[in-house]
Amino acid sequence: DAGVIQSPRHEVTEMGQEVTLRCKPISGHDYLFWYRQTMMRGLELLIYFNNNVPIDDSGMPEDRFSAKMPNASFSTLKIQPSEPRDSAVYFCASSPRSGNPANEQFFGPGTRLTVL
Amino acid sequence: AQKVTQAQTEISVVEKEDVTLDCVYETRDTTYYLFWYKQPPSGELVFLIRRNSFDEQNEISGRYSWNFQKSTSSFNFTITASQVVDSAVYFCAQWISGSRLTFGEGTQLTVNP
Protein backbone atom coordinates (compact mmCIF):
# COMPACT_ATOMS: atom_id res chain seq x y z
CA ASP A 1 0.00 0.00 0.00
CA ALA A 2 1.25 3.47 -0.82
CA GLY A 3 2.09 5.71 2.07
CA VAL A 4 0.77 9.19 2.65
CA ILE A 5 1.13 11.23 -0.52
CA GLN A 6 1.71 14.94 -0.49
CA SER A 7 1.95 17.39 -3.34
CA PRO A 8 3.73 19.43 -4.31
CA ARG A 9 7.00 18.43 -2.67
CA HIS A 10 8.38 21.92 -3.09
CA GLU A 11 6.57 25.18 -3.56
CA VAL A 12 8.09 28.61 -4.06
CA THR A 13 5.72 31.51 -4.21
CA GLU A 14 5.63 35.22 -3.69
CA MET A 15 4.12 36.97 -0.75
CA GLY A 16 0.41 37.54 -1.19
CA GLN A 17 -0.18 34.54 -3.39
CA GLU A 18 -2.52 31.71 -2.54
CA VAL A 19 -0.91 28.38 -1.77
CA THR A 20 -2.67 25.03 -1.71
CA LEU A 21 -1.04 21.94 -0.29
CA ARG A 22 -2.53 18.53 -0.96
CA CYS A 23 -2.58 15.26 0.90
CA LYS A 24 -3.81 11.77 0.19
CA PRO A 25 -3.90 9.67 3.38
CA ILE A 26 -3.37 5.96 3.56
CA SER A 27 -6.51 4.14 2.49
CA GLY A 28 -8.64 3.08 5.44
CA HIS A 29 -7.13 5.53 7.91
CA ASP A 30 -9.63 7.48 9.96
CA TYR A 31 -7.50 10.35 11.14
CA LEU A 32 -5.65 12.97 9.14
CA PHE A 33 -3.26 15.50 10.60
CA TRP A 34 -1.54 18.60 9.25
CA TYR A 35 1.73 19.68 10.86
CA ARG A 36 4.17 22.51 10.28
CA GLN A 37 7.88 22.26 11.00
CA THR A 38 10.16 25.26 11.40
CA MET A 39 13.50 25.77 13.05
CA MET A 40 12.05 28.28 15.47
CA ARG A 41 8.90 26.44 16.53
CA GLY A 42 9.69 22.82 15.81
CA LEU A 43 6.84 20.50 14.90
CA GLU A 44 3.38 21.94 15.47
CA LEU A 45 0.01 20.34 14.91
CA LEU A 46 -2.16 22.67 12.89
CA ILE A 47 -5.39 20.71 12.58
CA TYR A 48 -6.68 17.18 12.54
CA PHE A 49 -9.70 15.42 11.09
CA ASN A 50 -11.56 12.31 12.11
CA ASN A 51 -13.68 10.71 9.40
CA ASN A 52 -13.36 13.90 7.33
CA VAL A 53 -14.62 16.13 10.14
CA PRO A 54 -12.27 18.75 11.65
CA ILE A 55 -11.81 17.93 15.32
CA ASP A 56 -9.20 20.36 16.55
CA ASP A 57 -8.08 23.39 14.58
CA SER A 58 -6.67 25.34 17.50
CA GLY A 59 -3.21 25.08 16.02
CA MET A 60 -4.10 26.95 12.87
CA PRO A 61 -2.08 30.13 13.19
CA GLU A 62 -4.60 32.59 11.80
CA ASP A 63 -7.48 33.07 9.42
CA ARG A 64 -5.18 32.99 6.45
CA PHE A 65 -4.95 29.24 6.97
CA SER A 66 -7.78 26.89 6.13
CA ALA A 67 -8.03 23.13 5.72
CA LYS A 68 -10.63 20.90 4.17
CA MET A 69 -11.22 17.21 3.81
CA PRO A 70 -13.98 16.73 1.24
CA ASN A 71 -13.64 12.96 1.29
CA ALA A 72 -11.70 10.18 2.97
CA SER A 73 -8.92 10.21 0.41
CA PHE A 74 -8.10 13.87 0.04
CA SER A 75 -7.31 16.93 2.11
CA THR A 76 -6.05 20.41 1.37
CA LEU A 77 -4.32 23.05 3.42
CA LYS A 78 -4.66 26.52 1.96
CA ILE A 79 -2.83 29.69 2.84
CA GLN A 80 -4.24 32.92 1.50
CA PRO A 81 -2.56 35.31 1.32
CA SER A 82 0.81 33.76 2.00
CA GLU A 83 3.54 35.56 3.95
CA PRO A 84 7.29 34.93 4.25
CA ARG A 85 6.84 33.71 7.84
CA ASP A 86 4.73 30.85 6.48
CA SER A 87 7.87 29.33 4.98
CA ALA A 88 8.20 25.88 6.52
CA VAL A 89 7.86 22.19 5.82
CA TYR A 90 4.25 21.09 6.02
CA PHE A 91 3.58 17.47 6.84
CA CYS A 92 0.43 15.49 6.45
CA ALA A 93 -0.03 12.34 8.51
CA SER A 94 -2.74 9.73 8.83
CA SER A 95 -3.59 7.25 11.52
CA PRO A 96 -5.68 4.08 11.52
CA ARG A 97 -8.50 2.89 13.74
CA SER A 98 -11.42 4.94 14.91
CA GLY A 99 -11.68 6.15 18.46
CA ASN A 100 -8.03 6.54 19.23
CA PRO A 101 -6.12 9.46 17.77
CA ALA A 102 -3.12 8.30 19.79
CA ASN A 103 -2.33 5.53 17.38
CA GLU A 104 0.81 5.54 15.33
CA GLN A 105 0.82 8.29 12.75
CA PHE A 106 2.20 7.72 9.27
CA PHE A 107 3.77 10.83 7.84
CA GLY A 108 4.02 11.97 4.26
CA PRO A 109 7.27 13.27 2.80
CA GLY A 110 6.29 16.87 3.44
CA THR A 111 5.92 19.97 1.30
CA ARG A 112 8.70 22.50 1.59
CA LEU A 113 7.10 25.92 1.19
CA THR A 114 9.12 29.03 0.54
CA VAL A 115 7.35 32.36 0.45
CA LEU A 116 9.50 35.14 -0.96
CA ALA B 1 -0.32 21.48 30.42
CA GLN B 2 1.76 18.94 28.60
CA LYS B 3 5.36 19.47 27.67
CA VAL B 4 8.09 17.30 26.25
CA THR B 5 11.72 18.19 26.85
CA GLN B 6 14.65 16.83 24.94
CA ALA B 7 17.54 18.54 26.62
CA GLN B 8 20.16 17.25 24.21
CA THR B 9 20.07 19.40 21.11
CA GLU B 10 22.92 17.60 19.37
CA ILE B 11 24.86 14.42 20.05
CA SER B 12 27.85 13.21 18.11
CA VAL B 13 29.27 9.71 18.51
CA VAL B 14 31.60 7.39 16.70
CA GLU B 15 30.21 4.33 15.00
CA LYS B 16 29.66 1.33 17.29
CA GLU B 17 29.27 3.48 20.38
CA ASP B 18 26.09 3.22 22.41
CA VAL B 19 24.07 6.40 22.72
CA THR B 20 21.08 7.39 24.85
CA LEU B 21 18.64 10.10 23.89
CA ASP B 22 16.80 11.62 26.81
CA CYS B 23 13.14 12.56 26.95
CA VAL B 24 11.31 14.07 29.89
CA TYR B 25 7.59 14.70 29.76
CA GLU B 26 5.16 16.65 31.90
CA THR B 27 1.51 15.88 32.47
CA ARG B 28 -1.04 15.64 35.25
CA ASP B 29 -3.06 13.05 33.38
CA THR B 30 -2.86 9.40 34.29
CA THR B 31 -3.60 8.24 30.77
CA TYR B 32 -1.22 9.28 28.05
CA TYR B 33 0.91 7.92 25.24
CA LEU B 34 4.56 8.46 24.51
CA PHE B 35 6.23 8.14 21.13
CA TRP B 36 9.58 8.28 19.43
CA TYR B 37 9.93 9.32 15.81
CA LYS B 38 13.00 9.43 13.61
CA GLN B 39 13.56 12.10 10.95
CA PRO B 40 16.45 11.13 8.66
CA PRO B 41 18.09 13.66 6.35
CA SER B 42 15.53 12.84 3.67
CA GLY B 43 12.97 14.62 5.84
CA GLU B 44 10.13 12.21 6.42
CA LEU B 45 9.14 11.24 9.96
CA VAL B 46 9.30 7.57 10.79
CA PHE B 47 7.43 6.05 13.71
CA LEU B 48 9.62 4.03 16.07
CA ILE B 49 7.57 3.21 19.15
CA ARG B 50 4.43 4.02 21.13
CA ARG B 51 3.95 3.40 24.82
CA ASN B 52 0.87 3.96 26.95
CA SER B 53 1.14 5.22 30.50
CA PHE B 54 0.06 1.91 31.99
CA ASP B 55 2.82 -0.08 30.40
CA GLU B 56 6.18 0.62 31.99
CA GLN B 57 7.83 -2.42 30.56
CA ASN B 58 11.02 -1.58 28.78
CA GLU B 59 11.21 -2.60 25.16
CA ILE B 60 13.98 -3.79 22.91
CA SER B 61 13.84 -3.93 19.15
CA GLY B 62 17.10 -4.95 17.58
CA ARG B 63 19.68 -2.29 18.44
CA TYR B 64 16.97 0.01 19.81
CA SER B 65 15.71 -0.01 23.37
CA TRP B 66 13.45 2.21 25.39
CA ASN B 67 13.38 2.86 29.12
CA PHE B 68 10.08 4.21 30.43
CA GLN B 69 10.15 5.39 34.04
CA LYS B 70 7.08 7.11 35.40
CA SER B 71 8.88 7.95 38.65
CA THR B 72 11.15 10.33 36.77
CA SER B 73 8.72 11.11 33.91
CA SER B 74 11.26 9.91 31.43
CA PHE B 75 11.13 7.86 28.27
CA ASN B 76 14.71 7.46 27.13
CA PHE B 77 15.87 5.86 23.92
CA THR B 78 19.12 3.93 23.55
CA ILE B 79 20.81 2.88 20.35
CA THR B 80 23.34 0.12 20.84
CA ALA B 81 26.33 -0.18 18.53
CA SER B 82 25.34 2.91 16.59
CA GLN B 83 25.71 3.04 12.82
CA VAL B 84 26.10 5.90 10.38
CA VAL B 85 22.57 5.22 9.12
CA ASP B 86 21.27 6.10 12.58
CA SER B 87 22.19 9.72 11.95
CA ALA B 88 18.93 11.65 12.11
CA VAL B 89 16.85 13.94 14.26
CA TYR B 90 14.92 11.99 16.88
CA PHE B 91 11.70 13.33 18.34
CA CYS B 92 9.98 12.31 21.50
CA ALA B 93 6.25 13.07 21.65
CA GLN B 94 3.31 12.79 23.99
CA TRP B 95 -0.41 12.44 23.46
CA ILE B 96 -2.98 13.15 26.17
CA SER B 97 -6.65 12.30 25.73
CA GLY B 98 -8.59 15.30 24.54
CA SER B 99 -5.38 17.02 23.56
CA ARG B 100 -2.92 16.69 20.75
CA LEU B 101 0.40 15.11 19.92
CA THR B 102 3.09 17.37 21.39
CA PHE B 103 6.62 16.96 20.13
CA GLY B 104 9.87 17.73 21.86
CA GLU B 105 12.39 19.91 20.08
CA GLY B 106 14.32 16.95 18.78
CA THR B 107 17.85 15.66 19.21
CA GLN B 108 20.18 15.71 16.23
CA LEU B 109 22.25 12.53 16.35
CA THR B 110 25.35 12.32 14.21
CA VAL B 111 27.16 9.01 13.98
CA ASN B 112 30.61 9.38 12.52
CA PRO B 113 32.42 6.53 10.80
pLDDT at residue A99 tops 60 = no
Q: Quote the pLDDT of residue B73.
A: 95
Of B44, B47, B100, the CB nearest to A109: B44
In whole angstroms, give the CA distance from residue B11 to residue B103: 18
**Which of the 8 DSSP states describes residue A22?**
E
B101/A105 CB distance under 8 A: yes
First to last CA, chain B: 41
Is the CB of A102 inside 8 Å of chain B's CB atoms? yes
Band (B13; pLDDT cuts 50, 70, 90): very high
Query: In chain A, what residues touch B45 (CB-CB under 8 Å)?
Result: 91, 93, 107
CB-nearest to A107 from B45, B100, B105 is: B45
Compute the average pLDDT of residues A92-111. 83
Each residue of B16-63: pLDDT tens digit?
999 999 999 998 888 899 999 999 998 999 999 999 898 888 888 899
Q: CB distance A42–B47 less than 8 Å?
A: no
- Check pLDDT > 70 for residue B1: no
pLDDT digits (tens, 9 = 90+) for B67-110: 999 999 999 999 999 999 999 999 999 988 766 788 999 999 99
Pick from A6, A18, A15, A94: nearest CA to A52: A94
Cis before A81 (ω within 30) = yes
Cβ separation B101–A45 shorter than 8 A: yes
- pLDDT (0 to 100) of residue B57: 84
Q: Which residue has the higher pLDDT, A56 or A101?
A: A56
